[in-house]
Structure formats: C-alpha cells, structure tokens
Chains A and B, each alone.
Chain A
Amino acid sequence: MDNILELKNITKFYGDKIKTQVLFGLDLSFERGSFNSIIGQSGSGKSTLLNILGTLDRPTDGDIIINGKNTKTLNANALSQLRNENLGFIFQFHYLLPEFTALENILMPVRILGKKIDKEVMARAEELIELVGLSKVKNNLATQMSGGQQQRTAIARALMNQASIILADEPTGNLDSDTTEQIYDLMRMINKKYQTTFIIITHDQSVAEKTDRIIEIKDGRILMDVRKK
C-alpha cells in the first residue's frame, strides 16, 4: 500500500535532568488519502506524537518518513520547506495571524513558498474560501471572526499549498456541537475532493467514529488500532 507517512520506533523523552519517557517505540504508517483519528486520555502523548509527525518537534529516537523522505537527516531549512510544501496544521486554538485578514492568512503559505500571488493562486484561494464558507468575512481581520470562522480559515490555510497531509490537534475542541459537525464534514469533503490525508486528534467520540481508522494511545503506547471497512 502507498504510505504517505511512516513512523519507525519513535521514542520521546522530555526533560534534561529528570527524563520522563512519553512515547515508547511507536511504529505507525498512514496511507495516502486516508482519514485517521487519534484518541486517548489526556497526557497520553497524542500531541507529542502529532508534533513529531509534523516535524515541529524531533523524536529522541526513531525515523519519520514523509513522502518517502527520511526527515532525520534534514536541517532546519529543509524541514521548513518540507512543512511548507507537504504539511498543513490545524490546531485547537486555530493560530491565525491577528494582524492579517482571513484572505491574507490563507495566502500566507503561498508567500512563504516564495510564489507570486497571481490570478491562479487567487482563484484557488477564492475556491477554498467558498468551500469553507467564508466569502462574507474574507476581508475581516482574524480577530473580527467567530471561533468557527477562524477555524475554517485555518483549514483553508492548511490546504492552500495543496498539502498532502493535514495534521489537526483537537480542531473542534472549543466549538459547539453544530459547528463541530460542520468542520468535520468540511474536512471529510476535502479528504474526498483532494485525496488529502488527515490525522485528527480528538476527544470527541462522535468525531472519531466517523473516521476510517481510530488509533488509541495509552501512556505512550498504541493500545488499539481499528480500521473500518
């Protein structure tokens, strides 16, 4: 099977003097275009795992292979570029740039890539804005939008560079259940439309149940890995 993302024997220790082990030799792989969720108790190591997957954090030991490329040997600049071109992040606290409008936030990954904002790019941005239903507020500053709108902006931003993998850490954590439903449907639609791989951390059982695969983490180990279909 075509694996877009592979983890091999990932361990993670925190702390310098007093070392606490958070991840214990995880092996995981994700198929291209799959829609996955990670669940587990608070403190079990979900965020730690996702951040390592996203190259935001380095594991103490083990390999991460993204699109066939082992990230171990990459320097900071190469990692930045890899993130920019392949990965999109959605966090619980959306993390938009408050100084910029929704549209500008969505265009930011393209500018980081060093590409001109030409007609084609604008058309894609508009399409994504339409898709996530932000047409009315696209010129609002990030701070002038509701929580749900901000989260949808973050999703559009994560998709702007045609990221092949979207990593989401409790994306609906502080949204009401209706909005949660909408955001989930949106991610699902994008998954179908662009074959984007999704890895979503969630506390919400109903969200997890709608994904194709549920991975449960307990105390830094994989407790359960269930695939539907």
Chain B
Amino acid sequence: MKLAYSIAKRFLGYNKGQTILIAVGIAIGVSVQIFIGLLITGLQDSLIDKTVGSTPHITITQEDETSFEEFMIDGGSFTAVAYQAEGPAFALSENDDASVLLRGLSADGDKLYKLSEKLIEGRMPSAMNEVILGSGLSEKLDVSLNDELTLRTITNQSVVVNIVGIVDLKVDAINNSWVLATLATAQSLFELKDEITSIAIQVEDVFEADVLAEGIMTFERVNEQNLSVVNWKDQNEDLLSGLNGQSISSLMIQVFVLVSVVLGIASVLAITVLQKSKQIGILKAMGITDKTASWIFLFQGLLLGFWGAILGVLFGVGLLLSFTTFARNPDGSALIPIAFDPVFIAFSGSIAIFSALLASFIPAQRSKKLSPIEVIRNG
C-alpha cells in the first residue's frame, strides 16, 4: 500500500506536464461547479429574500375578515410572530388628507417587516397614539417628523396621533398607504378590545412554510374560531416553479461538468496504464502483486482528485470573490450576494476526489490483468 502510493507519486511527478494538465482539468470542473452552484444559490437566496424577506410567510385571519381572540404561537421554526390589528382609515393633516391602512403591531412586527432597518428618520412607535408613516404617504400628506395627524375610521371614530418616524417600505403601494402603530393604538381606534385581525408569522426555512402552515391548521384555537391559514408558497406558485427550473438546470450543468471531468480523468488514466505498462510488467516480474499494481492507479486517481479539488476550490472561490468584488450595483452593494457555503464547497471537492477515484477503477483493473510476459516479450 505504502509502496503503491510512493510509486504512484513518482509516476505523477515524472510526467509533470501531464499531471498538471489533469489536475487543472479537474480543478476547472470543480471551480465551474462551485461557481455555478453558489451563484445560483446566491441568486435564489437574494430573490427569495427580496420577495418574502420582509413579509409574512404564514398569515392567520378570520374567514369573514373580522377580529378574533389572540392566542400563543411559538416554536423553534417560527422566527417572528406578529399579532396585528388593522383596518382602513382616513388620515387628515393640516395640509392634505388620504386613505390609509392603519396597522397595529405587536413587538415582533418590527422584526418581521424589518421596520427599524427601513426607518429614514425618527424611531419606532412605542406608546399609545404614536405612529410611523410610509415615506410616500408622508409626502402626500405633507407632514414631517413630530407633526400631528388625525385618523378617522369608517365608523367615524377618530384619534389624534403623533408621527414619531418615517419609514421607506420600498414598495410604492404600501409606502403610499401604510400607517403603523402599536397594537394597542389600533385596537382602541377600531374598538377591538383585546382582539386582533390577523397573525403574521415568519419561519426559519421559507420553503417549510406550507408544512408549518398545515401544522397550524390543526391548532384547537384555529379550528374553534374558524380561522384561515395561508402561506406565501400558495400565493407565489410562478416564482416557485421558476426557482425550481433554475435549480434543475443548475444541477444539470453541474452533472454534465462532473461527467466530463470523470470521462477526462478516466481516459487520461487509461492512457497512463499504456504508458506505464512496461513499468508494471517489470514490477510484476519482481514480484509485485496484482492488487498493489492496481492500487498504484487508484492512488494516482486519488492524488489527482485531491490536488484537483484543492486547486478547484481555490479557483472557484477566487472566481466568486472577484465576481462579488467587480460585479456591483451603482450603490456599491454586491450585484449578487453570494453565499460562501462551505458545506457545498467541501461537497463539490469530495465529489471530485470520489469521481477521480471512480475514474481510476478501469485503469486499475487493466493493470491487474497486465502480465509481465507481454512486456518482456514485446520490449
């Protein structure tokens, strides 16, 4: 075994050019796989983050859109559970008026909608009758921080609130209509007492949302109050099938790259058996066993796979780094935030090593069959 390894190393070292060529071939395969794999994952992650990163993944409402009693939802899979009381209202400032959507949020609302991150000025509402407005709405009403605003419901309840913050909600439609307050503020204005109109939930793994939603549907309180549970996947089927198609094509590319790498190594190693058949014959005449002879080629495959994988990981990561460094948005942020997934990188490297080993099985088998007499007879 040790002998086979040292002969393998020597053979590879003796044909340096050829060795480097194969290793680089494997490396290119690995780096393409890493680059494509992580690029697509990064693209999908950022797309998903943009789509559902700051919206509820699961929403619980009353079927008839009325209010219901709040109940506890917790568990490790849920990263944010916001209790909401919301309804249409009319906002009047000194200068103008507008139809708005008033949404009262419990503590987790900030986390779920990433409000603190999106605040342009001011702070989050914390006390009764404090609100923050979408930036579009604040322009429309011509109000600024610390101004007062009157909110009136369709049932003609009204309240005067303080603007403690302006928030940029990114999407025009909600930027122009949302007024956000504490849960208590909204409950009092809409005369809901302790009741709420919806529960918005974010989950750890967005793709688990449908399964978790089904779990929630079995809750006693959900059945009792006849609540409806919807998750983002039901509402985004096009996006999901798009992502799925992308994943499949990325996988296909990876598989084809892999297949060509394996074929490449196998054919080159097959040639090296021919190149080294004389040496194998001599070694066998000296008494090397068939098993040791075949291990020489397995070790060659392993060594090539190992160095190819290391080189490939370096290439791949280098490629990704330069891509994230040079492909940038006008604002300087990375065009595609690539996730450096060490598990995927290690996986890709191990696949290369494994395929190289696999590819060396044929030449190893051939070397086993090689008889010293052939070599001695034919020079």
A residues adjacent to B (C-beta < 8 A): 47, 51, 54, 56-57, 76-77, 80-85, 89, 91, 93, 95-100, 108-109, 111-114, 157, 169
Contacts and interface: CB of A to CB of B under 8 A. Distances in A.
Nearest to B280: A97
B376 A80 contact: no
Given A109-B286, A114-B3, 16 more contacts: A47-B377, A56-B371, A57-B373, A77-B289, A80-B289, A81-B287, A83-B285, A83-B286, A89-B285, A91-B376, A93-B379, A95-B285, A97-B282, A97-B283, A99-B13, A108-B283
Contacts of A57: 373
Given A84-B287, A109-B287, A56 B279 contact: no
Cβ-closest 6 pairs across A and B = A84-B287, A99-B14, A83-B287, A95-B282, A80-B287, A57-B373
A15 to B, nearest CB: 14
B210 interface: no
Contacts of A81: 287
A163 to B, nearest CB: 10
B10 interface: yes
Interface residues of B, number: 26
Nearest to B11: A99
Interface string B234-272: 000000000000000000000000000000000000000
B280 to A, nearest CB: 10
A108 B267 CA distance: 29
A212 to B, nearest CB: 26
Given A95-B278, A99-B10, A112 B283 contact: yes
Interface of B: 3, 10-11, 13-14, 278-279, 281-292, 371-373, 375-377, 379
Nearest to B6: A111
Given A51-B373, A99-B14, A111-B3, A56 B285 contact: yes
23 contacts: A51-B373, A51-B377, A56-B371, A56-B372, A76-B289, A77-B289, A77-B290, A80-B288, A83-B286, A83-B287, A91-B376, A93-B379, A95-B375, A97-B279, A97-B282, A99-B10, A99-B14, A100-B10, A108-B283, A109-B286, A109-B287, A112-B288, A113-B287
Contacts of A99: 10-11, 13-14, 279
Given A99-B10, A99-B279, A84 B286 contact: yes
A95 B278 CA distance: 8
Nearest to B287: A84
Contacts of A114: 3
Contacts of A56: 285, 371-373, 376
